[in-house]
A and B are shown apart, each in its own frame.
Chain A
Amino acid sequence: MGTVGGSCLGSTLVSDAMIQAVGLRKSFGDFEAVKGIDVEVRKGEAFGFLGPNGAGKSSTMRMIAAVSPASAGELRILGLDPATDGPAIRGRLGVCPQEDTLDNELNVFDNLYIYGRYFGIDKATVRQRAEELLDFVQLTEKRKSRVEDLSGGMKRRLTIARSLINDPEVLLLDEPTTGLDPQARHVLWDQLFRLKQAGVTLVITTHYMDEAEQLCDRLVVMDKGLIVAEGSPRQLIEQYSTREVAELRFGVGEHEALGEKLADLGNRVEVLPDRLLVYSDDGERVIAQTHERGLQPVAVLVRRSTLEDVFLRLTGRTLAD
């Protein structure tokens, strides 16, 4: 694993970070997708970009993957400038794109073998590495199958295996579990955990808050091209939410008016179309007090705060919006 260096261009970027961005921007014509973000990803950590669709996550990922030139700002990947060292950077990154870009007409093994050859890895090494990776993603029995015949979860695992063929120092995963069933997601998460334990730096974009909580040591919350918060999942929840949330469901159309009546029960009340969220460190007490006031919710639920609540607090919207 190469050391990454130092004083690039005598600029503000002096660090041993795997990825460092300062004032990074991306525009497409008049539309600015990324509006000046600062990011630092350290070696060995799992770093997340959390935000809804259109927040600028994928544009940021493409710039980090050295396939999309930054419109402004500074960016260093592994200490190198993607504007001039694209091939060298890409040779040390693994990329798992949002959409599967596997070759449907090749078999499983050939997808890995041929991809490895693009990195200039010699044939014997790439064959051995492909076999190891098939074992890692539990596809050894499928090595001769055509990609078309694999399930969605298997294709994702094969894409992950392909992104590891060059033994990357940083693995970029763009919405890795979108479209997968719960079981397939957990299998994938387990594999990503194991990679992290093996020392691979992970950079993940997701609009699933549970995924961000499960996988990320540290994350930034993005909204409309800007970073609105940064920290570990726990820090963010402590900083922007309460320990618990009481969810109260009333009749259709009643939530707006009831929100005001219950505002004093918690630190904060969010009115959603189908329920009220009352933020408090004691959710059960909120529900008891609601009943004491003669209100009868159709359904109640007390849960711990999640990153979804952080996002709602920061942007006034849910991640699904």
Chain B
Amino acid sequence: MATTLSLREGTARQYDYWWTVYKRTWKASIVSSFLSPVFYVLAMGVLLGGFIAGDPDQLEGATSYLAFVVPGLVAAHAMQTAVGETTYPVMGAIKWHKSYFAQLATPLDPAHLVAGHLMFVLFRLATTCGVFMIVLAPFGVFESWWGPFLAFASQVLVGMVFAALVFGWSARLKNEAGFGVLFRLGIFPLFLFSGAFFPVANLGEAGAWVARLTPLWHGVNLSRMFCVDAVDWPVAAINTAVLVALLVVGWFWSVSGLTKRLVF
């Protein structure tokens, strides 16, 4: 009879490892996690936004450009945090310091390693997005008391989608040159054109539809609808369904990718 280690138990056994990693790195992550987003809010939302008329018809229901840009910025920041945690760290654990190989010599399987890593990303997303949202509260950009909580959940969700998809990509990459392609042709255009900084309708009809096909837009849209309290529930359901589907696809893509690299 086969003896397997449950996903929950195998993931829990890595808690001490990831907690130690976090204690070692949290100071270094403060700038990228907390300071950079605040700079973005000040520069884009407050200073640049001061020149933009607060027309709810033009700004997807937001009464100011600050209120418009902030939910998109947090969602885009979730994407960047997730990508940062699943590119070089994954390649390093396979190729450079080989910690995945050391872990695989224990009862853990590749699926446990993926789950442990993704749970750490979840923790990173929850803390960075959570702190970001708390810092934003005094700016008066939230239109309801419950909206920010759902916006927070959608930011974390879209971050996890990117974590899972990019983990699978990183697990398959033979060298780090592929990350340059990912950052320049994937993450950076998504950051700019997925509706974080301007309504995707401004891209023209065709451009808007391309933008709406990107995973980030679904997260940006959810985050914004909940923050500005202009929720189109059928659209929100579609956004959520797309993200959950991509998360499931990303999970299997990551587990199969890591299995190929470690078990041969």
Contacts and interface: CB of A to CB of B under 8 A. Distances in A.
Interface of A: 28, 65, 67-69, 80, 84-88, 90-91, 93, 95, 97, 99, 101-106, 110, 113-115, 117-120, 162-163, 166
B16 A90 contact: no
Nearest to B14: A118
B2 interface: yes
Interface centre among A93, A110, A114, A118 (most CB of B within 10 A): A118
B13 A120 contact: yes
Interface stretch (B42-50, B103-111, B217-225, B246-254): B103-111
A101 B107 contact: no
Interface centre among B101, B103, B105 (most CB of A within 10 A): B105
B254 to A, nearest CB: 19
Nearest to A147: B97
Contacts of A95: 105
A163 B15 CA distance: 20
B13 A67 contact: no
A88 to B, nearest CB: 4
Given A67-B262, A68-B264, A106-B20, A118 B103 contact: yes
Interface in B103-129: 103-109
B74 to A, nearest CB: 30
Nearest to A100: B98
Interface in B1-53: 1-5, 9, 13-17, 20, 24
Nearest to A80: B3
Interface centre among A28, A80, A88 (most CB of B within 10 A): A88
B98 to A, nearest CB: 4
A99 B105 contact: no
B264 A28 contact: yes
Given A87-B3, A87-B107, A101 B97 contact: yes
Contacts of A80: 3
Given A102-B102, A118-B13, A119-B107, 17 more contacts: A67-B104, A67-B263, A68-B263, A80-B3, A85-B3, A86-B109, A87-B4, A90-B106, A101-B98, A103-B99, A113-B16, A114-B20, A117-B13, A118-B106, A118-B108, A120-B13, A120-B107
Interface centre among A86, A91, A97 (most CB of B within 10 A): A86
Interface of B: 1-5, 9, 13-17, 20, 24, 97-99, 101-109, 262-264
Contacts of A115: 102, 106
Contacts of A162: 102
A90 to B, nearest CB: 5
B2 A85 contact: yes
B3 A117 contact: no
Nearest to A172: B105
A115 B108 CA distance: 11
Which 3 residue pairs across A and B have the least CB separation, nearest first?
Answer: A101-B102, A87-B107, A118-B106
B2 A90 contact: no
Contacts of B4: 87
Contact of B99 (A85, A86, A101, A120): A101
Interface centre among B4, B16, B107, B263 (most CB of A within 10 A): B107
B8 to A, nearest CB: 12
A163 to B, nearest CB: 8
A103 B97 contact: yes
Interface centre among A87, A102, A104, A110 (most CB of B within 10 A): A87
B102 A87 contact: no
A114 B17 contact: yes
B105 to A, nearest CB: 4
A88 B16 contact: no
Nearest to A66: B105
A104 to B, nearest CB: 6
Nearest to A118: B106
Contacts of A91: 106-107
Contacts of A118: 13-14, 17, 103, 106-108
A120 B112 CA distance: 13
